[in-house]
Amino acid sequence: MSSVETRTRPARSRTVPIGYDKHMMLTSGRASGELGAKIADRLEMDLTDAGLKTFSDGEVYCKYGQSIRGADLFIVQSLCGNEREGLTVNDALMELLVMVHAAKHASVHRIIAVTPWYGYSRQDKKSAPREPITARLVAEMLETAGIDRLVTMDLHAGQVQGFFSRPVDHMTAMPILTQFVKDRLGDESDELVIIAPDAGRVKLIRNFARKIGVPYALLEKERPAQGLAEIGYVIGDVKDKVAVIVDDIIDTGGTLRAAAQTVLDEGASRVYAVATHGVFSGAAYETLADSPLTGIVVTDTVPPRDGAPENIQVLTCADILTDSVRRIFTDDSVSEIFAGENQLF
């Protein structure tokens, strides 16, 4: 009778040590230093120094001041200029790419780019022959550099999310802006009307108006060239009403000023404007200071330049972004912040 040899299996070692916890780190580029500091303060943690500097020839350098190995690293950087730091939008983009690439080669666990203002988002399609789709190019550069996830806010066009093969968390400033309108103009809700600046924003404005419980109207607009818009007329009743124009971006301010004047010409008593991104490029401050707008409200996705006129107010989006960062780190639902209403397109 043959004997059967019994072999004892060696004990399997644990793949993850007992008590192991992943850890989060937060850093920011120079375009969004103030916003990054606000988020870090709300998370009760310190910003990790990215060691950013610009050489005399204009090249960007990054060297993290401490080990980031194994961390979920959140990099806060809007793709915008920062006058105080001497950065252009292209400087901010290159800086973010360098920060991501440095982190990838420092063996982080995940790299999450927190980019509230996604620069180049208005170049989202070919509207004429021989044009680039630069919003897609930026997405490809960020993924090549090494991001694992993107957090952004109120994209100009929904298809930008489709330019990424990695997850995109789309935040919205709608809760901040609707609450401001309720607090500031709630006593006049019977006379309030929300204005869509063009047909592409109707879905957004319908939701905005529904949350406040007021009607909405639409501005008819044509754009004969980049940066130039011609306002036609108002579709809807604005006579003797307090009008609030809601948009995603305020750039040079010329279109907004013309829109406000058109609404007043149609009989509105006062006109306000609220938007997520206050880019305010060129002579925007002078244009808006000279406009008939009673008040303008934006968030700090783009750092405001010095010298803003008195009719511009800046609200922070740090609370929403902090909640988003916390939920991404703990693998919780991000859309629950907005009850699933953050897909506005």
Percentage of the chain beyond pLDDT 90 is 79
What's the token pair of residue 215? 């009607």
Whether residue 10 has pLDDT greater than 70: no
* Residue 11 pLDDT class (50, 70, 90 cuts): low
Give ranges for CATH 3.40.50.2020 in the chain: 23-172+319-338, 174-316
Using CA atoms, how far residue 222 sits from 18, 197, 233, 290, 300, in Å, is 62, 11, 11, 23, 29
Residue (of 192, 239, 233) closest to 216 by Cα position: 192
The answer for 158, left when phi > 0, alpha when psi is -120 to 50, beta otherwise, is alpha
Whether residue 15 has pLDDT greater than 60: no
Q: Where are the alpha helices (DSSP H) in 114-200?
A: 134-145, 174-185
Per-residue confidence (pLDDT) for residue 336, from 0 to 100: 85
Contact 243, 263 (CB under 8 A): yes
Specify the amino acid at residue 189. S
Over residues 47-84, the pLDDT tens digits come to 999 999 999 999 999 999 999 999 999 999 999 999 99
Contact 151, 318 (CB under 8 A): no
Over residues 157-168, the pLDDT tens digits come to 889 999 999 999
Q: Kind and range of the H or E element at 275?
A: strand 270-278
We find that the CATH architecture of domain 174-316 is 3-Layer(aba) Sandwich (3.40)
The average pLDDT across 165-189 equals 91
Q: What's the start-to-end Cα distance of the chain, in Å? A: 77
Interatomic CA distance for residues 46 and 199, integer angstroms: 44
Specify the amino acid at residue 305. R
Given the residues 22, 53, 125, 221, the one annotated as active site: 221
Fold for domain 23-172+319-338?
A: Rossmann fold (3.40.50)
What count of Cα atoms within 13 Å lies in the side-chain half-sphere of residue 220?
6
Whether residue 198 has pLDDT greater than 80: yes
Over residues 244-281, the pLDDT tens digits come to 999 999 999 999 999 999 999 999 999 999 999 999 99
Least trusted range by pLDDT, from 39-53, 86-100, 276-290, 324-338: 324-338
Over residues 94-106, the pLDDT tens digits come to 999 999 999 999 9
Q: What is the pTM of this model?
A: 0.89
Per-residue confidence (pLDDT) for residue 248, from 0 to 100: 94
Whether residue 30 has pLDDT greater than 70: yes
* Residue 6 pLDDT class (50, 70, 90 cuts): low
Burial of 196 (0-12, 13-18, 19+ CB in 10 A): buried
Interatomic CA distance for residues 203 and 57, integer angstroms: 46
Whether residue 341 has pLDDT greater than 80: no
289 DSSP assignment: H
221 is catalytic: yes
Whether residue 345 has pLDDT greater than 60: no
Burial of 21 (0-12, 13-18, 19+ CB in 10 A): exposed
Does residue 326 or residue 229 have the better pLDDT? 326
Per-residue confidence (pLDDT) for residue 190, from 0 to 100: 75
* Residue 202 pLDDT class (50, 70, 90 cuts): confident
Residue (of 284, 280, 247, 242) closest to 263 by Cα position: 242
SS3 24: strand
What's the token pair of residue 243? 């009008």
Per-residue confidence (pLDDT) for residue 308, from 0 to 100: 94
What's the token pair of residue 247? 């948009």
Interatomic CA distance for residues 285 and 256, integer angstroms: 12
Over residues 271-298, the pLDDT tens digits come to 999 999 999 999 999 999 999 999 999 9
